[in-house]
């Protein structure tokens, strides 16, 4: 009899423990909305912060975003393997034509493409005029003590060292923005490699490839004499020196919040939300800036998913923008925020 009572007590305790465990689970996992996205690594530090903080405030919505590169994100979006994508290259008309539900592009933040370098003995910010840095990426200037670099950096002892150029190995919106700028400032670049998410780089053993923005940053840090292009936030995070670049007005401008905002001030947002600033005007404008886009279908089957997307978007346009500067991005101008809000009505 005692054994039976003991068994019943243990069974009751187990049932109570199970009930308590179930009580700790959020009201049925099935009620949680999951949003999946992929694409650009350029805005990943900011997007990942947005999605984590949004998730803490909205536990019923889980957002999973993978930074694969803009090209891979657009491919996933066209193939309907994600709920949204992200790209620094927006989307081309022919790409959007492949999506029967329609496409809504929304610029969500902006940033600067910087030229980061590894020259341990050079303590001052390196100056690279606009005739110099295209020549480096064309493989025409191959030594750090080249007279063209030395002339722009008086008083700086530059090493007699080969320049190692680090470029993207994947299909990249950052590459698109950078090469679009190079095409705008260099006829030789425009008529050579040209503009694209991938391009034909010079065939040289001094050009090495790395995936995504974080891969570029890590490779530069590990390679004395290296230079490469990436989003400013990665340089800020990893404390890699970043060059001051020659702008359209002929000034050497460092990448700062103010110089980025000065460049964006020249842009007017069109109805399709695609705007480019390959060589912005303005004395204080940093020369390589871009908006970066989230990409959504205009039609979804699940109304709860649409409601969750719009809730996420509003968070990104308000609290999210307040985080931008700290992470190395440029907060959207208020008129752009309102344009994005208005356009988001198309997501249904």
User: pLDDT tens digit string along 110-145?
Assistant: 999 999 999 999 999 999 999 999 999 999 999 999
Question: Does position 9 have pLDDT exceeding 50, yes or no?
Answer: no
Average pLDDT over residues 238-244: 96
Write down the H helix ranges in the chain.
2-24, 44-57, 70-78, 93-96, 133-137, 147-152, 173-185, 187-190, 212-222, 232-238, 257-264, 303-317, 319-324, 334-343
Question: Does position 5 have pLDDT exceeding 60, yes or no?
Answer: no
Question: Looking at residue 13, what is its pLDDT?
Answer: 38
Higher pLDDT, 11 or 134: 134
Element (H, E) at 84: strand 84-87
This prediction has a pTM of 0.87
Average pLDDT over residues 32-45: 96
- Whether 32-111+291-346 and 112-264 share one fold: the answer is yes
Q: What is the pLDDT of residues 255-276, one digit of tens each?
A: 999 999 999 987 889 999 999 9
Question: Looking at residue 267, what is its pLDDT?
Answer: 84
Q: What is the pLDDT of residues 278-310, one digit of tens each?
A: 999 999 999 999 999 999 999 999 999 999 999
Question: Looking at residue 268, what is its pLDDT?
Answer: 86
| CATH, range 112-264 | 3.40.190.10
Q: What is the pLDDT of residues 153-167, one digit of tens each?
A: 999 999 999 999 999
Tokens representing 4 are: 């039976």
Tokens representing 278 are: 């390959």
Question: Does position 23 have pLDDT exceeding 60, yes or no?
Answer: no
Average pLDDT over residues 223-234: 97
Distance CA 124, CA 126 (A): 6
Domain boundaries, the chain: 32-111+291-346, 112-264
Number of CB atoms found within 10 A of residue 264's CB: 22
Question: Does position 2 have pLDDT exceeding 70, yes or no?
Answer: no
Question: Looking at residue 176, what is its pLDDT?
Answer: 96
Per-residue b/e over 295-328, b at no fewer than 16 CB within 10 Å? bbbeebeeeebbebbbbbbebbbeebbebbeebb
Q: Which residue in this structure is represented by tokens 């700028």?
A: 181
Q: Which fold has domain 32-111+291-346?
A: D-Maltodextrin-Binding Protein; domain 2 (3.40.190)
Average pLDDT over residues 186-208: 96
% of the chain with per-residue pLDDT over 70: 91
Distance CA 328, CA 68 (A): 20
Q: What is the pLDDT of residues 302-336, one digit of tens each?
A: 999 999 999 999 999 999 999 999 999 999 999 99
């Amino acid at each position: 009899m005692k054994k039976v009572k003991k068994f019943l007590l243990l069974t009751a305790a187990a049932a109570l423990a199970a009930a308590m465990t179930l009580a700790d689970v959020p009201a049925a996992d099935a009620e949680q909305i999951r949003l999946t996205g992929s694409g650009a690594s350029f805005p990943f530090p900011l997007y990942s912060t947005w999605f984590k903080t949004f998730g803490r405030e909205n536990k019923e919505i889980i957002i999973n975003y993978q930074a694969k590169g803009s090209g891979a994100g657009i491919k996933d979006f066209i193939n309907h393997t994600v709920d949204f994508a992200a790209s620094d290259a927006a989307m081309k008309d022919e790409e959007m034509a492949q999506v029967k539900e329609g496409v809504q592009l929304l610029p969500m933040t902006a940033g600067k493409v910087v030229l980061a370098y590894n020259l341990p003995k050079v303590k001052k910010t390196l100056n690279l005029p606009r005739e110099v840095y295209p020549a480096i990426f064309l493989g025409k200037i191959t030594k750090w003590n080249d007279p063209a670099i030395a002339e722009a950096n008086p008083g700086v002892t530059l090493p007699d060292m080969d320049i190692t150029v680090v470029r993207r190995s994947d299909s990249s919106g950052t590459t698109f923005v950078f090469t679009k700028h190079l095409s705008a400032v260099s006829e030789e670049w425009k008529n050579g490699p040209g503009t694209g998410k991938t391009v034909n780089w010079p065939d040289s053993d001094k050009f090495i490839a790395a995936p995504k923005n974080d891969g570029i940053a890590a490779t530069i840090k590990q390679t004395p004499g290296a230079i490469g292009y990436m989003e400013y936030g990665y340089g800020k995070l990893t404390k890699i020196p970043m060059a001051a670049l020659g702008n359209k007005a002929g000034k050497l401008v460092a990448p700062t919040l103010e110089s980025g905002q000065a460049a964006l001030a020249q842009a007017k947002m069109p109805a399709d939300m695609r705007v480019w600033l390959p060589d912005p005007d303005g004395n204080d404008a940093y020369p390589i800036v871009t908006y970066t886009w989230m990409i959504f279908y205009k039609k979804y089957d699940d109304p709860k998913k649409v409601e969750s997307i719009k809730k996420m978007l509003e968070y990104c346009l308000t609290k999210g923008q307040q985080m931008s500067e700290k992470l190395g991005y440029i907060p959207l101008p208020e008129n752009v925020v309102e344009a994005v809000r208005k356009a988001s009505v198309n997501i249904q």
